[in-house]
Every structure is written in C-alpha cells, then in structure tokens.
Amino acid sequence: MTNRRLKKNPYRGINAHLHSMAQNPRNSPTIWTSIHASYIAYIIQTLNMQLPINYVARAEQSLQIWTENIDTGDERKRHPRPDVGVFRSDDSEVPMVSTAQAASAGTIHLIPIRALLMEDEITISSIVIYKPEDIRYMGEPITRIELLSDSNKIGGTGYKAYLHNRAVALASGTSLIELDYLHQTVSSLPGVPAYPDEPDSHAYTLTLIDRREEENPEQTARVHGIDVDMSLPTIPIPLAGSENLLFDFEAVYQRTFEGDRWGTSIDYDLAPINLESYSLTDQLRIRDVMQRVAAEQMA
C-alpha cells in the first residue's frame, strides 16, 4: 500500500520530509512560499480567535526580502513566485483556445514583455499584533512574528537587509518572535550553534525577543531549540503592559499541514531529500517516523 496520501503529519512538530522538499527544489520552483503563506494565514486566524477583543493580528509586509535561488551550474538566479499558481497534476484533457479565438474577445494591445519584468525582490508577509487606539488608528506594532526564508539567513541574498530591518524594528520597541524551520541554512542569530555540526545545535529554532524589557541591560532573547520529531513549544506572546497570550505553535502547524494537504505529495517509503544534512541523531528520528508510518499502513 502506498503512503503518498497520508493526510495527517506523522511527525511531532516540523515535517522533515516536507521541509527538505522545500529547501531542495532541484531546478524547479520551491514550495516554501506556499508553506510560508498558509502557515502565516493559520497563525493570524488562530491569534484573532484567541486575542482579547481589544487586540488584532494583521498580515503585513515582512522584514524580509524574499528571492528564490535556483542552481544553474556556476550561477544562482532569482526565480520569483506568483501570487496565484496554476499547476498541472495529471494528463486529463483541458480545452484549448487558439490565439484567434482569444483575440475575438476584445481589442488586443501588444506590449513588450520586458517592460513587465522587474528586478526588485519579492516581499513576503509576516504577522503584526496591534492594540488599536480607535477604529481609525491601529496604533504602534506590539509584537511581530517572522517565519524565516533561507534567503534571509546567513549567506542568503536578503540576509543583510533582514538584519537591518530587524534591528530597526527591535529599536522601535516592537517585540519579535522569529520562527526558523529551515535546517540547511545557518541561523541569523549570533551565538546560536550551527546545525548539525556544532554541539547543542538543533534543526529548528523558535526565538522570543520581548522588548517590553528594553530598559533592562541584561535582556536576552529566548531561543527554543527544536529537534526532529519534537513538538513546537507553547510560548507567551508579549502584548501591551504585562499582558501575554499563551500560544500553541504546535497546534497551528499541525492544522496547517493537514488543512492545506501538504502530506499528499510525500512518500514516507523514501527518505527526505538530502538526508545527510540532518544530524545523525535526527536521521535516526526520521527513520523511526518512517517505520512508524509503515507499521500503521500495514495494520
């Protein structure tokens, strides 16, 4: 029996198979921007169901600048992603329309395609929590949640821009939650051990920077190290004053995975792409998950 249509996530926490696919596009567009968009949307929806009535979570332009780098021999080129994608999943027939038929629908104006191509990078969404002062003014951002893309980590094309934008946001007093679910690139946070080679390193991290303590010279960022097949933490999201919202990132990730059917393209009979990029301990955890899936399929 094939394992390709397993709807639920067999991993606790991050699905190593899915996130390996996202980081190894192999000359085809990565699915990371789609994962990013759906996870952000589920977080916003959940926040707005749980936040007190005088708060609101909104999708806003990220601190990150996103580009998709595809290996093409000696060079790496940007590969932008559309807001809406059209994909072909089988060989079923699709009605075709000729150019002449299309022209009959109205006047056609010809413009050079090069005029439509832009060199600017694509921006992506993050989450900002506000406590609106009234219905016309949102007030200042209280907490921002960023889901990192590889281009904004060390070695990425947007790395320096993200460092600058993050510093500006933190200097303004905005608290930050940084989600790093990409194990193949080094963390942008100073002092975090590089995975998988350094001791006490972890495949994924979730970092809380509470800027309500900005006057405290001993203030620290709280970095949660997360291993493969380990649940994501529940953490207190900083609100105004001394208020917090306990938020379960594990539950939202699992709802995203199942709700958007990310498991339908995964075959757990096969190891994740680039399995060697995981630590030996995490490789064993991945093998355990694969065996667990196989046993459940046989039952």
Does position 24 have pLDDT exceeding 90, yes or no?
A: yes
Does position 117 have pLDDT exceeding 60, yes or no?
A: no
Q: What is the pTM of this model?
A: 0.79
CA dihedral 47, 49, 51, 52 (to 10 degrees): 170
- As given in the structure block, the two tokens for residue 258 are 């199942």
Residue 236, Ramachandran bin (φ over 0: left; ψ between -120 and 50: alpha; else beta): beta
pLDDT of residue 130: 93
Does position 96 have pLDDT exceeding 80, yes or no?
A: no
pLDDT digits (tens, 9 = 90+) for 125-156: 889 999 987 666 778 899 999 999 988 898 88
**Extents of the domains making up the chain:** 16-71+119-298
pLDDT of residue 266: 93
Does position 53 have pLDDT exceeding 50, yes or no?
A: yes
Tell me, what DSSP letter sits at residue 115?
Answer: G
pLDDT of residue 49: 97
C-alpha distances out from residue 134 to 51, 54, 56, 130, 289, Å: 17, 10, 12, 11, 50
Instruction: Report whether 286 contacts 183 (CB < 8 A).
Output: no
Name the pLDDT band for 293 (thresholds 50, 70, 90). Answer: very high
Write down the mean pLDDT value for the chain.
82
Mean local confidence (pLDDT), 250-264: 96
pLDDT of residue 193: 94
Does position 83 have pLDDT exceeding 70, yes or no?
A: no
Kind of pairing between the strands at 244-248 and 122-130: unpaired
Mean local confidence (pLDDT), 36-51: 95
